[in-house]
A and B are shown apart, each in its own frame.
Chain A
Amino acid sequence: MIQAVTARSDEQVLFDDLSARTDLFWGSMLSQRSLTRSLETSTALSLKDPTVRDELAELFNRAMDEAFEDDTESAFARGLRSIILTHGESAMDALKKIVLSRSVNEGVAAESFEVLGRMNDSMTLISRLWILESGLFSSSARIRDAAGLSLASLDDPHAIPYVQKAIDEEQCDELRKDLEQVLEQLQETAQCH
């Protein structure tokens, strides 16, 4: 339901596609920035694999004690990548529930977004894009920034309409400018394709 966005350019089509994203996020995002609240009460993301969910929950708990260094990959990042590569979409479903919830620690969520942006795994690309595009509308500026950076890292023009919408809504001037840089990069990439 999100695949056709970049194939068509007019705004009406964009919003048709956003509406067609029947998952719980987009319906609420278009009316208000209440992503995390709606996720908390939704049953749309059923967790099919309790083992993966527990594994991820444990990883996120351990991450609370880890100091993330900018120059070295964290144990959390290595663990998250390993879980995603092992469990694929089951892991992504569980991860959505965690990173897009209101109670997530924003520093850990931002670190997880960096992993999603840096992974080279075609099997989970659509889900990773989905999470990062959704993260652009988080109530946390740090998470929105991490989402923008990771979408720049993926460099997939699919994210263009979402980044554009995030720019339109962004209240923080500094973050808006950074998102504009991301948009510029994605548009350049789209022109090269």
Chain B
Amino acid sequence: MPLILRTIRKAKWYRNDPLPWLSPDELQADALVDLNTKGNALSVYLVKEDDAEALERLVTALAANRDSIKELDYALFADDILSEIGIKISAVGGNTPDSVVNTWHRDLTELSASKIMRLADAIRKGARIKRIPGKRIRGLIIDALAANRVDRAKLRLGPDVVADLEGAVLVVKDRPN
């Protein structure tokens, strides 16, 4: 079964954060910012269940598409949630520096406010919410650069950061197999 990945900020989705004003079965409003739509569409990625390699590649591509190296939080949920809510899904190319990952991109389209609310609630209740630490992200990007899986021209990182990464890439390439 394919899974849907959406980047989020984990701290807004805690299931047991004892906020005094929030009832346990509710989601704080700021979490909806993580489901910010453009043209009533929401950008997500498809990844096969139990394909750890693909998931890692996807996470790396998303992390490499930001202007700094930092942790990456995401929610991962079964795609049947979409049909239950009646959300349409369209294949639209992504814009990460990894051309393979870009083919996994999808837009959730024709979204109404109530559908977004239902999606948010489904994520809160059933998604796997994960964090990849910044230090691990750095290692993943270095490995992706060494394997030429990412297009250097599409990196949005600052030149000093890229120079640092390229230095580490040379170390990786010099490492005996």
Is B134 in contact with A152, judged by CB distance below 8 angstroms? yes
B 139-153 to A, binary, CB cutoff 8 A, 1 in contact else 0: 000000000000000
Does chain B have a CB within 8 A of A110? yes
Which residues from chain B contact A172 at a C-beta distance below 8 Å?
A: 14, 16-18
Does chain B have a CB within 8 A of A71? yes
Shortest Cβ distance from A141 into B: residue: B17
Is A146 in contact with B11, judged by CB distance below 8 angstroms? yes
Does chain B have a CB within 8 A of A171? yes
Does chain B have a CB within 8 A of A107? yes
Q: How near does chain A come to B58, taking the closest CB pair, in angstroms? A: 15
A 3-45 to B, binary, CB cutoff 8 A, 1 in contact else 0: 0000000000000000000000000000000000000000000
B 109-137 to A, binary, CB cutoff 8 A, 1 in contact else 0: 00000000000000000000101011100
Q: Size of chain B's interface in residues, with CB distance under 8 A?
A: 26
| A110–B65 alpha-carbon span in the complex (Å) | 22
Interface magnitude class on chain A: 20 to 34
Q: How near does chain B come to A130, taking the closest CB pair, in angstroms? A: 21
Contact residue among B7, B10, B134 (Cβ-Cβ distance under 8 Å from A174) = B10
Contact residue among B7, B18, B133 (Cβ-Cβ distance under 8 Å from A70) = B7
Which residues from chain B contact A182 at a C-beta distance below 8 Å?
A: 133
Contact residue among A118, A153, A174, A185 (Cβ-Cβ distance under 8 Å from B14) = A174
Is A67 in contact with B33, judged by CB distance below 8 angstroms? yes
Does chain B have a CB within 8 A of A178? yes
Does chain A have a CB within 8 A of B71? yes
Which residues from chain B contact A73 at a C-beta distance below 8 Å?
A: 67-68
